[in-house]
A = this chain, B = another copy of it.
Amino acid sequence: MAFIVKKFGGSSVADAERIRRVAGIIAEDYRAGHKIIAVLSAQGDTTDELIEKASELSGKPPKREMDVLLSSGERISVALMAIALENMGLPAISLTGRQAGISTSADYSSAKIERVEGSRILRELDNGRIVIVAGFQGMDKYDDVTTLGRGGSDTTAVAIAAALHADKCQIYTDVDGVYTADPRKVEGARKLSEITYDEMLELASLGAQVLHNRSVQMGKRYGVEIEVLSSFTPGVPGTIVKGAATMEKTKISGVAKDTNTARIAVMGLADTPGIAFRVFNEIARAGINVDIILQSIGRDKTKDISFTVPKEDLQAAVATLEKKKSELQYSAIDTNDAVAKVSIVGAGMMSASGIAAMMFEALYDAEVNINMIATSEIKISVLVRETDADRAVDAIHRKFFE
C-alpha cells in the first residue's frame, strides 16, 4: 500500500468524458489498496472564461476579487470528480484549498504556500475516502481566498506530498514524460526515464513546459520524487524527477528551445567599475528578469553590454534605460526580438569534456550563427536567429542522441 498524490491539469478534466477517464485512473490505484489524494486544476477553458467576464467589467480588476473569481474554477472540477467517483461506487470527498489546510501568503494572484495543515485530509483518508483537492488556491491569514499563480496546481500537489510524506507525487499532463527534445518537432526525441531536479529546472526555464519551476523547486527542497505522466495514456510509465543519487549516466538530458526572448545591447557605456551594476539595477527595479548577459571587452574607454529579457518586457526595459540615459551615459541601444535561445541540459555536462564543442560543431554543420553564449553548471545556451531555432535543435539532438 502506497500513499500517492496525483495531479491532473485542466485539459485532463475538460469535460465529462475526460473526468470519467481520470476517475478510472484514480479508481484503479484506489482499488489496488493505495491511499489517494488527487489535486485538480480548473476545467479546460474555465479560467479564461472567468478572466473574460472580469475584463468586461474592469481593465484592472482588483487581485483579491480575481482570486475569489478564479478559485471557483477548481471548486467546480473537484466537486465534479467526487461526483464521478461516487457514481462508480467509490467513497470520495472534495476539499477546497482552505479545507485542505493550504495556508498562503496574502499576495493575491501569486500567493506562496506557507504551510499545509493536513489534519482534515488525513482524517478523510483514514475514513477510507479518496480525497480530491482544489489546486491553485489557498487561504491567507486574513481568512481570504488566494490563488497561487502559474504552476499553482502542480505546486499544491508537491506541497501536499511533502507535508504529508506521500510516497509518490504524480503529475498528469498532456505529454507522457520529459523528452530529450520537443517530440512534436524533433524526430528521434526520446523519453527520459529519470531526470534530476536541477536539469528539470533548467529545461522548464528553457521553454520545455512540462512542469512548472515552482513545483520542481519545492520537490527538490523537500525531496519529493515527482513523476510526470499522461492521463491520456494510463499505464505508460512517465519520467521521474528526483535527486542525483540513482541517476543513470547520460551526457545530456535534453535540448530545448525558448522563443520568448529578446536581445538588448547597450552600446558605448563608460568602461568604469560599477557600470554593469547600475544598468542591471535599473532593470531589476523595473521588475524585469534578465537572462543571458554578455559584456564586451572594453575598447576606446567604452564597452557594450548585451542581455536577453522575455519578449513582453522588451519595451519596458528599453524605456527604463532611456529614462536613465543621462546617468548611464551610453551612446545607443540596439534591440532584436527575432531571436531564440537553444540550450542543452545535463547534470554531468561540466565533468564530461567536449560537450560544448559538440554542440558548437552541430550548429556549425547546420550553418546556424551563434549570437551569444551562456553556460552554467548543467547547461549551455546559445542565442540564435529565431528562424534558425528549429534547425539548431534538430542538429544538436542528432549530434547527441543518434
Question: Within the complex, what minimum Cβ distance (angstroms) separates A184 from chain B?
Answer: 31
A72 close to chain B: CB less than 8 A: yes
* B99, A87: Cβ atoms closer than 8 Å: no
- What 1/0 mask marks residues of chain A from 59 to 103 whose CB sits below 8 Å from any chain B CB? 111101110110111011011101110110000011010010000
In the assembled complex, which residues on chain B have CB atoms less than 8 Å from the CB atom of A72? 72-73, 75-76, 79
A99 to B65, CA, bound (A): 14
**Most chain B CB atoms below 10 A, which of A16, A50, A68, A145:** A68
Q: How far is the CA of A319 from the CA of B19 in the complex (A)?
A: 36
- In whole angstroms, how far apart are the Cα atoms of A96 and B97 in the complex? 14
Contact of A75 with B68 in the complex, beta carbons under 8 Å: yes
Contact of B69 with A86 in the complex, beta carbons under 8 Å: no
Q: Tell me if A57 counts as interface (CB < 8 A to partner B).
A: yes
Tell me if B58 and A84 are in contact (CB < 8 A).
yes
> Contact check: which of B58, B71, B75, B99 meets A83 at CB < 8 Å?
B58
**Is the CB of A56 closer than 8 A to any CB of chain B?**
yes
For window 20-50 of A, CB contacts with B under 8 Å fall at 20, 50
Task: Kindly report how many copies of this chain are found in the complex they form together.
Answer: 2
Shortest Cβ distance from A84 into B: residue: B57
A122 contacts partner chain B, Cβ-Cβ < 8 Å: no
The answer to whether A334 has its CB under 8 Å from any CB of chain B is: no
Q: Which of B64, B86, B120 contacts A58 (CB 8 A)?
A: B86
Q: Is the CB of B69 within 8 A of A87?
A: no
Chain B nearest CB, measured from A235 CB (Å): 23
Q: Within 8 Å of chain B (Cβ to Cβ): is A143?
A: yes
A164 within 8 A of partner (CB): no
Residues of A within 8 Å of B, CB-based: how many? 39
Q: Does A324 contact B (CB under 8 A)?
A: no
By the criterion CB–CB under 8 Å, are B64 and A99 in contact? no
Is residue A54 contacting chain B, with contact meaning CB distance below 8 A? yes
Complex formed: what's the CA distance from A59 to B93 in Å? 18
Once the chains bind, are A80 and B54 in contact (CB under 8 Å)?
yes
- How near does chain B come to A144, taking the closest CB pair, in angstroms? 8
Q: Choose from B62, B73, B99, B145 the contact partner of A143 (Cβ within 8 Å).
A: B99
- In the bound assembly, the distance between CA atoms of A69 and B82 in angstroms comes to 10
| Distance (whole angstroms) from the CB of A320 to the closest CB of chain B | 27
The answer to the question of A53 belonging to the interface, with a C-beta cut-off of 8 Å to chain B, is yes
Asked if A83 and B57 sit within 8 Å, CB to CB, the answer is yes
Separation in Å of the A291 CB from the closest CB of chain B? 34
- The distance in angstroms between the C-alpha atoms of A184 and B86, with both chains bound, is 45
The reply to whether B80 and A57 form a contact with Cβ atoms under 8 Å apart is: yes
What are 13 residue pairs bridging A and B, where the CB atoms are less than 8 Å apart in the complex? A16-B53, A16-B56, A57-B84, A57-B87, A59-B87, A62-B83, A65-B82, A65-B93, A65-B94, A68-B75, A68-B79, A68-B82, A72-B76
